[in-house]
Amino acid sequence: MIHHNDAGRRSVALFIGIFLTCLGTSAQDAANTTPYGFDSPLQAAALRGSPYKFDVGFRTDSIEKVDVADRGIVRATTALTPDPNGVFRLTLEQAQQAAAGASNPLVRLGELQVEAAKQHRLGVEAQYFPNLSSSYLGIHFNKHPGDVLTVEGPLGGGHQVAVNIINKDENTVNLLAVQPITPLIAIHQLVKIARADENIARAKAGMPVAETAMQVEKNFFELLVAQRELTGAQADAKKVQAKWLTASSAGVTSVSTEQEKDMISAEKEIIGPASKVKELTASLDEMLGLPEGTRLELVPPAPLVEDISLKEAADKAMAANAEVIAAEQTAIKAHAAATISKMEYGPVVAALGGYTNQTSINVVFPRAAAYIGVTASWTIFDFGKREHDVQESKANAEAADLGVQLTKAKVAAGVKSSSLELERSRQLYQLARRMVSATQIVEASYRPDDPEPVSARARMEADMFRAELEYRQAYAKLKALMGGQ
C-alpha cells in the first residue's frame, strides 16, 4: 500500500504554486505594463492613481526651444548668384525664398516636431493590437527536493522511494500574447490626445517661416530707406560744394569759417546713413547666407495689392489661427483625460494565451503546454481618490473649454485691431506714392545735374518706403492671425 508523505505533498504543492505564480505574474505584468503601460501626456494630477499607467513618451510641448545664435547652428545657405561685377541684384521675393530655404534650421525644427508627434501617435495606435512577449526562468537548488513516497510492506514495514517529480535544476521558457479588452477605451482616448498634439505641432510648424519672411521684409525695406537717405545726404553735400565753388569763382579764395562748418556738417550727414547702409547690408547678407561684405542692389517690389474684409479675416482666423487650434486641441485632450479618469471605477480586463516549455515539474505537469486565459484587476476602495480625480479632470475640461472661448475673443480683437491698422497704413502708403509721382513732374523743369531734385526725390522715396514697410508689416501681422492664409 502506498501513502503520500505529508512533507512530499507540501513540497509538490509548493513548487507547483511557485511555477503557476511565475506564469501568473508574467501574464499580469504583460497585461498591466506592455500593451498599455504608459503615462498620460496630461498633467500628472489628471490621472493620478489610475490603473492605466499610460506612458506616451514624447511630448510635443516639451521640446526645448533652440536659439540658433547660441547653439552655433549653420544658418541658411543660398543659391543666389552675383553679376559680373560681384553685385547681387535682389528682389524681395528672392530674399524671402532664400531665407526660408530648406537649410533654414528653424524650418527643419518645425518639420522634426511634426514628425515626432506623428510617430508618437502611430505608436499609441499600435497599442490597439496584442502584445507578444517572452520570458525565461532558470533555478538551481543546492539540495535535491527529497523523497516524497513511502512504500509499506505486508508486515507493516516500509521504505521510502525517491520519486523525481521536482527537478534540482529547473528551466522554464514562456511565450505570452496579451490582448487588452477594457483598456481599449483608454487607448482610444490616448489616440485623441496624441492626434491633438500632432495638430498643435502642425499649426505651429509654419510660424518660423512667416516670422523669417517678416524679418527679411523689414530688413529689406529698412535698407532701401537707408540707401535713399544716403543718396539724399550725398546730394546735399553736392549742393554745399556747388555753393562754395560758385563763391570761389566769384573771387573768394580763402576757406572761411562758415564754409568749413558747412562742409563738416555735410560730411557728418553722410556718415550716419552710410554706416546704417553697411550695417543693414551685413544683416541681410547673414540672413540670406551670403558672404560677409557682399554688395546688394535691391529692386523695389511692386506695389502691394490686397483686399481683405474684416469678416473674411475673422472667419479665417477662427479656423486656422495657431492659438485657436492649440486651445481647441487642448480642450480635446482635457476631455479625453476626463474619460480616462472615469474608467478607474471599472476593472482592467485582458485576454491572454501562450506556450510554455519547462523542466521544473515532471510526471504531474507536461513539459510543453499551451494555455489561454483572462486576467482582471479591480480596485474596490481607495478612500475617495477616484472621486477627486474625476472632479479634478472635470474642472480641467471646463477650464479648457473656457480657454477656447477666451482665445477666440482675444484673436477676434487682434484681427479687428490689425484690420484697422492695415487700413490706416494703406492710406498713408498710397498718399506717399502720389507724392513721389508728383516729384517726377517737377523734376522735368530742373537741370539733369542739379542736386536739388535728387535730394528731394530721395527723401520722398525714403518716406514712401517707410510707409510701405508699415503697410506690409500690418498686412503680414493680419495674415499671421489668419493662420498664414
> Residue 377 in contact with residue 314, Cβ under 8 Å?
no
Residue with the bigger pLDDT between 441 and 164: it is 164
Helix 451-481 with 207-249: angle, nearest 10 deg? 170
More confident call, 252 vs 169: 169
Separation of alpha carbons 409 and 403, rounded Å:
10
Number of structural domains found in the chain: 1
Q: Is residue 414 part of a domain?
A: yes
pLDDT category of residue 248 using cuts at 50, 70 and 90 = low
Q: What percentage of the chain carries pLDDT values higher than 90?
A: 47
> How confident is the prediction for the chain on average, in pLDDT?
78
List pLDDT tens digits, range 212-230: 889 999 999 999 999 999 9
In a domain, 74, yes or no: no
256-268 pLDDT, tens digit per residue, is 677 677 777 778 8
| Dist CA 86 CA 95 (whole Å) | 17
Q: Is residue 445 part of a domain?
A: yes
Model pLDDT for residues 130-158, shown as the tens digit of each residue: 999 999 999 888 877 765 566 676 666 66
Q: Is residue 68 part of a domain?
A: no
Q: Please report whether residue 78 resides in a domain.
A: no
Comparing 70-79, 271-280, 302-311, 343-352, the range with the smallest average pLDDT is 70-79
User: How large is the average pLDDT for residues 290-294?
Assistant: 83
Does the residue 399 lie in any domain?
A: yes
Q: Residue 212: inside a domain, yes or no?
A: yes
The parent domain of residue 377 ranges over 2-63+84-481
Show contacts of 24-27: CB within 8 Å, 24+ apart.
24/375, 26/133, 26/135, 26/174, 26/176, 27/176, 27/178, 27/352, 27/354, 27/373, 27/375
- Highest mean predicted confidence (pLDDT) among 73-82, 200-209, 327-336: 327-336
Confidence at residue 219, expressed as pLDDT on a 0 to 100 scale? 94
275/121 Cα distance (integer angstroms)? 53
Q: How far apart are CA 465 and CA 226, in angstroms?
A: 10
Lowest mean pLDDT among 236-240, 259-263, 374-378, 448-452: 448-452
332 vs 268 pLDDT, higher one: 332
Q: Is residue 72 part of a domain?
A: no
CATH number, domain of 350, equals: 1.20.1600.10
Q: How far apart are CA 200 and CA 268, in angstroms?
A: 53
